[in-house]
């Protein structure tokens, strides 16, 4: 649980600090090359979900993010696997990063727009929180594929102990 919460706090802080930096450094809609065309910075305010979907449902997205965050905190008391703790820490930190924007950024409480500023070719503009949410999704897929149990250890080992 400690690992999960430390990672979540770290991801949230990195996300919020990077957004503050982007707000102070870039003009909305103007691309600033960083690694040529591979990675550019461009400031965008996103009222929707991933890929700017659901732009008219910002309050609903806010409730969903808050619910997911609460569910992860509740589940964290049962996590014994460091893999799951890392994955859920990344997910919680990313969700809280974007939730913070939804709650406290203009145009108002629960209607706030998420600050995005990282741009790759042929891909929507995103932020640090989005990167960690995507990383968490990949880690959770690995956990499912490798059958890593939520409470730690391996399923085979758990079954051997149960039969002993």
Q: Which sequence positions are flagged as catalytic?
A: 116, 130
% pLDDT > 90, the chain: 77
Distance of CA 92 to the CA centre of its chain: 6
Instruction: For residue 117, give the 3-state DSSP assignment.
Output: strand
Nearest Cα neighbor of 119 from 54, 37, 18, 49 is: 37
Checking if the pLDDT of 155 tops 70, the result is: no
Q: Which residues of 83-104 are buried (b: 16+ CB within 10 A; e: fewer)?
A: bbbbbbbbbbbbbbbbbbbbbe
Average pLDDT of the residues of the chain = 89
Q: What is the pTM of this model?
A: 0.87
Q: Which helix (H) or strand (E) is 54 found in, with range?
A: none
pLDDT band per the 50, 70, 90 thresholds, residue 22 = very high
In angstroms, the CA 130 to CA 155 distance is 31
């Amino acid at each position: 649980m400690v690992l999960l919460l430390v990672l979540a706090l770290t991801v949230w802080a990195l996300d919020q600090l990077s957004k503050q930096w982007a707000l102070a450094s870039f003009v909305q809609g103007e691309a600033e090359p960083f690694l040529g065309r591979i990675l550019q910075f461009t400031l965008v305010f996103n009222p929707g979900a991933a890929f700017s979907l659901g732009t008219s449902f910002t309050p609903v997205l806010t409730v969903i993010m808050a619910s997911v965050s609460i569910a992860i905190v509740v589940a964290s008391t049962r996590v014994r696997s460091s893999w799951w703790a890392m994955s859920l820490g990344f997910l919680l930190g990313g969700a809280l990063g974007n939730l913070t924007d939804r709650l406290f950024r203009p145009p108002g409480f629960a209607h706030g727009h998420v600050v995005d500023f990282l741009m790759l070719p042929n891909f929507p503009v995103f932020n640090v929180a989005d990167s960690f949410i995507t990383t968490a999704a990949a880690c959770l897929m690995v956990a499912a594929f490798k059958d890593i149990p939520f409470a730690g250890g391996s399923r085979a080992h758990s079954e051997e102990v149960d039969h002993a």
